[in-house]
Amino acid sequence: MSIELTIPTVGESITEVQISEWLKSEGDSVKQDEPLAVIDSQKTTFELPAPQNGRLVKIIAQAGDTVAVGAVVAQFEPDGEAKKAESNGKATEGKTPEPAKAATPPPENKKTVVAEKAEASPKNSGKETPPAPAKEAKKPETKPPLEPVKTKSLSAREEEVVPMTMLRRTAAQRLVEAQQTMAMLTTFNEVDMSAVQALRHEYQESFEKRHQVKLGLMSFFVKAAVDALKQYPAINAEIRGTDIIYRNYFDIGVAVSTERGLVVPVLRNAERLTFAEVEKAIGDFGRRAKEGKLKPDELSGGTFTITNGGIFGSLLSTPIINPPQSGILGLHSIQDRPMAVQGQVIIRPMMYLALTYDHRIVDGREAVQFLRRIKQAVETPARMLLEI
């Protein structure tokens, strides 16, 4: 007996998803937990695994279809059922089938007799009545896989129409919502990365040997952000109706770019994490984001976000807040620039920082001082360890 494959529950607020693509075709044999399809939801992309070894019998929901959570999208036949059907077929081989019993002729229909006599009459002699065409069985319509639509004009100028994924549509909606509902403002500063680079160079080998993970830049900024958020709690708060909700915990979202869009997994209780734990968690988020294996609860509930456009070469930007949060910190490329240090011009590795904040809850003075606190913590990392 075949098994019905349904869309699993992916979050309390998610009621429907979109079939992004089928990785297997009808009739393909698969192993247990092997991905069958890629599913897009409002918050993340995940894979639909095979429940056990078997065969994908029928695809019901096609690529591009939007289906409800719990809906049947395919039929799956376990290996045991396939072998059972095969053994039943072998058991019937070699046996002589019993002769069929003669069918009892149906009672003669008067209308049929009249029709036959009419055909035999002289008026109809020499004329052949063509048989009525057989009705073709109506085949079920199958929706082809979702593919880009290209249009070509005489001038060889082409356009390609590609439907937005559910993840990207949701992200676009939230970004527009943030622009329309918040009084967003961005302030900037720059930080000398010399101390961090020196620490990484000196302790990278021993750190990696002990913790099996590299000492990156993000752990320094996560710890610096927690330190600054403790000093300026409004940036870690949110507006809820006519109330301001202040928090004594720090769930830091880290923006991760994937082929299907931007996702922001959250480091829960970042104030309790060590540098190694932060680096391991971020590395794990990055790998699973690319594989589409992040869980919906890992993408919700952040209190503050850090995004690093520097990995793509961005020198300066104004990041958009992820509502209902009140702030987001943007990191950028590290560039060697001439700086005046104690009356001398010295080349230093510098990075621009950008803080976008909700001006309804955060004053400009607090935003500027928050960035200065980040700058001090990164330029003198010992402050984060000593908490001074």
Are 219 and 278 spatial neighbours (Cβ–Cβ below 8 Å)? Answer: yes
pLDDT digits 0-9 by tens, 255-279: 998 877 788 999 999 999 999 999 9
pLDDT at 148: 62
The full set of domain ranges for the chain reads 3-85, 167-386
3-state helix, strand, coil in the chain (%, to 5): 35, 30, 40
Which residues neighbour 125 within 8 Å (Cβ) at sequence distance 6 or greater? none
Whole-angstrom Cα distance, residue 293 to residue 314?
Answer: 28
The answer to whether 363 is a known catalytic residue is yes
Q: Per the structure block, which two tokens stand in for 61?
A: 């929901």
Strand order across the beta sheet in which 16-22 lies: 45-49, 35-40, 16-22, 66-68
28, 284, 297, 359: the catalytic one is 359
pLDDT at 87: 53
Whole-angstrom Cα distance, residue 280 to residue 286?
Answer: 10
pLDDT at 151: 62
Going residue by residue through the chain, which has 388 residues, state the pLDDT in tens, using 9 for 90 and above. 788 899 888 766 678 888 888 999 999 999 998 989 888 887 777 888 899 999 999 999 988 888 888 899 999 999 876 555 555 555 545 555 555 444 444 444 444 443 444 444 444 444 444 555 544 444 444 445 455 666 665 677 888 988 877 777 877 888 888 888 899 999 999 999 999 999 999 999 999 999 999 999 999 999 999 999 999 999 999 999 999 999 999 999 999 988 777 889 999 999 999 999 999 999 999 999 888 788 888 988 899 999 999 999 999 999 999 999 999 999 999 999 999 999 999 999 999 999 999 999 999 999 999 999 999 999 999 877 766 5
**CB count in 10 Å sphere of residue 131:** 6
Second-level CATH architecture of 3-85: Beta Barrel (2.40)
Whole-angstrom Cα distance, residue 199 to residue 377?
Answer: 14
Residue 146 amino acid letter: L
Superfamily of domain 167-386: Chloramphenicol acetyltransferase-like domain (3.30.559.10)
The answer to whether 358 is a known catalytic residue is no
Whole-angstrom Cα distance, residue 17 to residue 66?
Answer: 6
pLDDT at 164: 79
Peptide bond into 324 cis (omega under 30): yes
Whole-angstrom Cα distance, residue 145 to residue 135?
Answer: 29
pLDDT at 64: 84
Q: Per the structure block, which two tokens stand in for 330?
A: 């943007």
Cβ neighbourhood burial of 221 (10 Å; 0-12, 13-18, 19+): buried
Which residues neighbour 169 within 8 Å (Cβ) at sequence distance 6 or greater? none
Cβ neighbourhood burial of 201 (10 Å; 0-12, 13-18, 19+): exposed
Are 142 and 25 spatial neighbours (Cβ–Cβ below 8 Å)? Answer: no
Select from 335, 363, 380, 361 the least CA-distant residue to 187.
363
Whole-angstrom Cα distance, residue 352 to residue 378?
Answer: 12
Q: Per the structure block, which two tokens stand in for 373?
A: 């606190």
pLDDT at 84: 55
pTM > 0.85: no
Cα 236 to Cα 13, 27, 350, 376, 377: the distances in Å are: 24, 52, 26, 19, 18
pLDDT at 263: 87
